[in-house]
Each structure stands twice: as C-alpha cells, then as structure tokens.
Amino acid sequence: IRRFGIGYADDTWDSLRNYLRTKGFHDEDMIEAGVCTAGKNNGSYDFFRERAVFPVIDVRGNVVAFSGRTLGDDSRKYLNTRDTAVFKKSRTLFALNIAKNTKTRQIIIAEGQMDVIALHAAGLDNAVAGLGTALTDEHARMISQYADEVLLAYDSDEAGQKAVRRTTEVFKSTNLAVRVISMTGAKDPDEFIQKFGAERFREIVEKSSNSTEYELFRAKKNFDLETDAGRAGYMKAASEILARLDSLTERDVYAGRVAKETDGTKEYILIEAERVRKIKRAKETKQQDARLARSVSERYNVRSAKDVKLGAVSAERRIVALLFFNPDLCEKVASRLVPEDFVSAETAEIYRQLTEAIGREEFSGMPSMSAFLTSEQISLLSGIIAEASGVNFAVDDADLYIDKILEAANGPDKDTLGKMDAEEIKKLIDKTKGKML
C-alpha cells in the first residue's frame, strides 16, 4: 500500500471535496485537477466514489493523475482523471517510475493496476500497465528506453487476445523483442498468482513464447488435427498468422513447423500466406489512395461527373481516374475504348499501361504503376488522380466518358478544342485526316 500510495474513496459524494476545502483549495482547482466534477449552481462533487485510488506517478516521480478501481458493481472497472497539461494517458504508464529501475532490461505489461500490484508483490517489480487506453507508439518508445524485451501478461479472454495482437503490431516499430505469457487456468496475473503462487508465475514467464508461437498455439487449440477438416482449418489459420510476418526466414521456419503438425506441405502454407499478404497490401493501398483523395478533395468543387460538362481531354483523364479507383470496371471500359481513341498520346499510354496491369492482376495502386510508367508519366497520373479526388464516381459515368471520347474521335467539339493546347490540336487534326484517307 505504501509503495503505490493506495487510497480509498468512500461512497459519499463530497468527502474529498470537503477535505480539500479545509486545506485551502478552491472547487475550480479540484475540477481542473480532475478529482472533482462540476455540478449544478457552481458546485462540485467527488469524481471517485467507492473505489481504490492509485496515484499516477511519472518517470520523474511527480504525481500527475489518479486512477480508481471499482469496489462495487460499477461496470466501469477503472476510472482515470482526465488528460491535463501534465498528464496524457497516451504517454503515461502506471508503475513505470518503479519498473524503469529494473536490471533485467525486461518490462512486463499487464492490463490493470491490480495486476501490476500483484506482480510487484510477487517480486516482479518490472510490471507496468496502461491507463484506460490501448498501448501507443509513444508508450513503446518510452519502454524502449528502459528495456530490450517486453512480456505481455494480458487477460486470457478474447478482448485480451485482441490486445496482444494490437500491441505486437505497435512494437514492430521498435527493436524490442516481444513475448507473450500464457496463463492457463486463470484470467489475469492477479488471479493466477492467487491460485498458483508467485513461483509458478515466474515459471510461465520463463516459458513464455514469442507472439507468433503464441498465436499459432492459440489457433491450433481451435482445431481437431485428427481430421482432414481440422488440419486444413489450422493450416489456413496459420497462414493468416504468418502473413503478418515481414521476414521471409521467419515465415519459412514457422511454415515448416505447421506442415509437420498437420502432415501438410510447407509450400502450400507459404503460398497461402503470400496470397493473404497480397490482399492486405491491395486493401492498404486502396485505403491510402482514398486518404490521398480526401486530403485534396477540398480543392475541387466537384460532386458528380454529371455535374460537369466535359470535353474529350477531360473525359480521357477522368476515365483513367475512374479505372484507378474502380479497377473492376476495366473489362467493361476496355471492351469499348482503346488507346488509339484518345486525343492525348500521353494519357493514352497511361490508359494502356493501367488496363494491362489490371488485366494481369498486377495493379495495386500508385506504387505498382511505378514499375510500368516513367517518372513523367507517374507525375501526370498523380495529377489526374488529384483532379478527380472530389468526384463521386458512379458506375454509368464510364459510359459518359467513353461517349465523349469516341465523339471527339469522330470530330472535335468547341468545348474539347478549348481545353487543348496547340500540340494536341495538331495531333487531332492529323488523326482526323488519317481517318478520312
């Protein structure tokens, strides 16, 4: 109790407020600090009620906030005072002020303060916990200053396992090794230590596996490997886990292990993992492209293709953009429109390369096009995409663009000519002459 400064908030509404008033504090100060909440008629009441209260201490030893665990039936297990000028939940870890002094260069991360206190009581004073927020990149950077390895002691329920996966991803940006503690027979460290003792917990810490081994272990428990369906299911689940590994060597090693466990082939597992990675990359690229489009959309006051009268030059650029964002329309568009129908030779070449890449299933956004286009063409394509970023494309817009392009192929209209430069007009005249011969 003394080490963590644990206190108690009773179930009244004003004990702390009244006490602090006797010490000369004003209600505004208490509200600003987060220990009281503003009430009616310029009054206030206690923020914590019927809770064990823990001071939150930063790595310099300053009390910057408070956290309270319910002692009653409140569904909110933990409450933390709000962020202030000196306290940011995304940059603070409970008990890091103690754990940073560990000589093991290991940090155990638990989910709650009670777990941390139980671990410290068991002699594991390198345990910390977040404060009502998922582990952040900033947390990871802080931990990396004091440790070379982290051990995740998260709850064994589904929410805890999801947290393991999220946290593992966060630590990928650091050089820290990550292991996961498996607590069979208990839901969290506090319960495990109460049931089996501190020495047994130290044993499972020593036996803890890396995050990939842990996820494979958890996945295997969901399948009956005595059946073909069970083995196939485990191989598929394992492939999805291995797809998250960037290292080819690691994927190869674990694929070999899974193949032995299932009497399957390592090659199949690796191929399936690569397929999953390809789908993920395509999805991420599409999301990046969408974010890029949204970031510049405010520059363009365009709501729909039908809202604007397009000339052929603009229509050519729009059809390229439409296919970029909707590659599934490629077959429909390519059946009506060939590069030779374009007025702009530069846009025609981009259209050709784009449709061919989609047809070969090699298109996955802007990065993939750099393999087929020159730097000048990439620049032009980027401009085309930026122009169309505010367009809310509809399926039948493709026909609108194609009709406009084919219409120009048989003769220019006033709007099209107005958007052409001298070279494009010359090319159009030469093209038209050729068709007349």
Q: Is 412 found in the same domain as 316?
A: yes
Count CB atoms within 10 A of the CB of residue 236.
15
Helix (H) or strand (E) holding 46: strand 44-46
Sheet with 63-70, side-by-side order of all strands: 7-9, 51-57, 63-70, 78-80
Q: Is 429 found in the same domain as 385?
A: yes
Query: What is the rounded CA–CA span in Å between residue 134 and residue 167?
Result: 8
How does residue 156 score in pLDDT terms, banded at 50, 70 and 90?
confident
pTM of the model: 0.61
Count CB atoms within 10 A of the CB of residue 310.
19
Q: Is 369 found in the same domain as 325?
A: yes
Q: Is 328 found in the same domain as 231?
A: no
Q: Which of these three, 182, 210, 238, is where a domain ends? A: 210
Q: Which two tokens stand for residue 81?
A: 């005072």
Query: What is the rounded CA–CA span in Å between residue 435 and residue 431?
Result: 7
Q: With respect to residue 102, please indicate whether it lies within any of the assigned structural domains.
A: yes
Is 217 a residue whose pLDDT tops 50? yes
Predicted confidence at residue 423, as pLDDT, reads 59
Q: Domains in the chain: how many in total?
A: 4
Out of 21-35, 42-56, 110-124, 306-320, pick the least confident.
Answer: 306-320
Which of 69, 65, 122 minimizes the C-alpha distance to 97?
65
Q: Is 11 found in the same domain as 49?
A: yes
Q: Is 260 found in the same domain as 309?
A: no
Phi, psi of 18 (to 5 degrees): -65, -40
Q: Is 390 found in the same domain as 328?
A: yes
Phi, psi of 180 (to 5 degrees): -120, 130
pLDDT tens-digit series, residues 323-350? 998 888 899 899 999 998 888 889 999 9
Query: What is the rounded CA–CA span in Å between residue 258 and residue 269?
Result: 8
Classified as helix, coil or strand, 402 is: helix
Query: How much is the average pLDDT of 386-402?
Result: 78
Is 300 a residue whose pLDDT tops 70? no
Is 437 a residue whose pLDDT tops 50? no
Q: Which of these three, 210, 236, 261, is where a domain ends? A: 210
Query: How much is the average pLDDT of 223-236?
Result: 94
Predicted confidence at residue 435, as pLDDT, reads 39
How does residue 196 score in pLDDT terms, banded at 50, 70 and 90?
very high
Find out whether 230 and 220 touch, Cβ atoms under 8 Å. Answer: no
Helix (H) or strand (E) holding 128: strand 127-129
Q: With respect to residue 246, please indicate whether it lies within any of the assigned structural domains.
A: yes
Q: With respect to residue 18, please indicate whether it lies within any of the assigned structural domains.
A: yes
Predicted confidence at residue 310, as pLDDT, reads 55
Q: With respect to residue 27, please indicate whether it lies within any of the assigned structural domains.
A: yes
Q: Is 242 found in the same domain as 193?
A: no
Predicted confidence at residue 71, as pLDDT, reads 92
Q: With respect to residue 87, please indicate whether it lies within any of the assigned structural domains.
A: no
Which 8-state DSSP code applies to residue 40?
G
Q: Is 309 found in the same domain as 231?
A: no
Q: Above pLDDT 90, what percent of the chain?
A: 53
Residue written as token pair 């005072």: 81
Q: With respect to residue 300, please indicate whether it lies within any of the assigned structural domains.
A: no
Q: With respect to residue 324, please indicate whether it lies within any of the assigned structural domains.
A: yes
More confidently predicted of 280 and 292: 280
Distance of CA 377 to the CA centre of its chain: 31
Q: What is the CATH number of the domain that holds 365?
A: 1.10.860.10
Query: What is the rounded CA–CA span in Å between residue 199 and residue 216?
Result: 26
- Give residue 132's domain range: 96-210
Predicted confidence at residue 306, as pLDDT, reads 42
Is 308 a residue whose pLDDT tops 70? no
How does residue 203 score in pLDDT terms, banded at 50, 70 and 90?
very high
More confidently predicted of 392 and 243: 243
Q: What is the CATH number of the domain that holds 189?
A: 3.40.1360.10
Q: Is 400 found in the same domain as 423?
A: yes
Q: Is 352 found in the same domain as 254?
A: no
Q: With respect to residue 285, please indicate whether it lies within any of the assigned structural domains.
A: no
Predicted confidence at residue 307, as pLDDT, reads 40
Q: Which two tokens stand for residue 219?
A: 């996945």
Query: What is the rounded CA–CA span in Å between residue 402 and residue 334?
Result: 10
Q: Is 120 found in the same domain as 227?
A: no
Predicted confidence at residue 54, as pLDDT, reads 94
Query: What is the rounded CA–CA span in Å between residue 93 and residue 147?
Result: 14
Q: What is the CATH number of the domain that holds 56?
A: 3.90.980.10
